Amino acid sequence: MPEFIPPFSLDRQNAALAAEVEAAALRVLRSGRYAQGPECEAFEREIAPWVGGARAVTCSSGTDALHLALRAVGVAAGDVVLTTPFTFFATAGAILLAGAVPEFVDIDAGTFNLSLEALSEALARPRTRRIGAIIAVHLYGRLADMPAILKSAGDIPVVEDAAQAIGASLVGRPAGAWGAAAAFSFYPTKNLGAMGEGGLVTTMRPEVEAKLRLLRAHGSPRRYAHDILGWNGRMHELQAAILRVKLPHLAGWNQRRAQIAAEYGLTPVVAGHIYHQYVIRSSRRDALRDHMRELQVGSEVYYPTPLDCQPALAAYGNGAPCPESLRASQEVVALPMFPELSVDEVRRVREAVRSFS
């Protein structure tokens, strides 16, 4: 029996980086600085080239980054925020946490990202509430069609949900450098993962950066002065130090993911895609997964239920129906994807899919 190939594992990366990570952790533990200090500041500087030189503000998670970004670009209580239902729950959860209401816009079947046609329809629909923002999700590590989305949006701020897209780009311009603000996640399974929680907001606009820094620290520009209502969105120094160990490897890891995607060869190669997930579709998805499992090849489904069908969001399914999101949730399957997959494992995954009939 061949060894099981998991859809994702950190074991090999952790083993390779153990000495460096442990040294960085010890440095922080001995430093006496644990929350939003010099490690976080250094990380904000070091990650800037990855986001096209945008201003980078660390925070406690990707969810927090989305929530901060929405507030910082001016989303107000009662606003509508347009986004797709084919994403992780946090995209819509953050809209509600910011006091706004999500309205779901369907995806494009080929890219899994916001459909331009559906977006135009939503923007043209008569409504009583103001549209406070549009969240464009770069799902699976592939950029949404930002030039077209920004054009349709006009004056409405576009926030990038770039949680899965650190290092991804479109026409040479990276995720995080397009919208009024962008949110990244360093959850351990992301392409750049902390050993705990972490997030980042980026923006090209100095006034948005200033607002983000205030919001992250209880609206406080100086100790015990509070200009606006914010909250505690600080990142841990330990996580920043670990992310600084990993950041120099990110280019190589993303390249290796793209190489694995090319070797799988089951979908067209997409320039600038960082393959956070490698996703194929099948009308017999569950049978395909059973077949793969028999050959000791794991797989996953992101996401089995569109957000407009989630109990927590049932009250907000007030936009147009999203048939492509529903169909995608029934057909997608993510193949094993992490940079440390061996040549032989990549071959076994490909054969497992190809031998399904």
Ligand X SMILES: *Cc1c(COP(=O)(O)O)cnc(C)c1O
User: Least distance (Å) from ligand X to the CB of residue 351?
Assistant: 29
Cβ proximity to ligand X, 62 vs 317, nearer residue: 62
Burial tier of 43 (Cβ tally within 10 Å: 0-12, 13-18, 19+): buried
Residue number of the CB closest to ligand X reads 62
User: Least distance (Å) from ligand X to the CB of residue 93?
Assistant: 9
Cβ proximity to ligand X, 198 vs 339, nearer residue: 198
- Amino acid, single-letter form, for residue 196: G
**HSE-up of residue 307 (Cα within 13 Å, Cβ side):** 25
Residue 258 CA, chain-centre distance (Å), reads 17
Residues that bind ligand X (CB under 6 A): 61-63, 87-88, 90-91, 137, 161, 163-164, 185, 187, 197, 199
Cβ-count burial 221-239 (b if 16+ within 10 Å, e if not): eeeeeeeeebbebbbbbbb
**29: helix, coil or strand?**
helix
Cβ proximity to ligand X, 139 vs 214, nearer residue: 139
Rg (CA), the chain: 20
State both tokens at 172.
């040479």
Of 156, 136, 134, 132, which Cα lies nearest the Cα of 145?
A: 136
User: Least distance (Å) from ligand X to the CB of residue 51?
Assistant: 16
User: Least distance (Å) from ligand X to the CB of residue 89?
Assistant: 8
**Residue recorded with tokens 């399904």:** 356
Cβ proximity to ligand X, 36 vs 87, nearer residue: 87
User: Least distance (Å) from ligand X to the CB of residue 15?
Assistant: 24
Residues 307 and 101: their CA atoms lie apart, in Å, by 13
User: Least distance (Å) from ligand X to the CB of residue 233?
Assistant: 11
Of 157, 44, 137, which Cα lies nearest the Cα of 87?
A: 137
User: Least distance (Å) from ligand X to the CB of residue 90?
Assistant: 4
Phi then psi for 335, rounded to 5 degrees?
A: -85, 160
> What is the 3-state secondary structure of 75-89?
CCCCCEEEECCCCCC
Cα of first residue to Cα of last residue in the chain, in angstroms, is: 22
**Residue recorded with tokens 């054969």:** 351
Burial tier of 188 (Cβ tally within 10 Å: 0-12, 13-18, 19+): middle
User: Least distance (Å) from ligand X to the CB of residue 88?
Assistant: 4
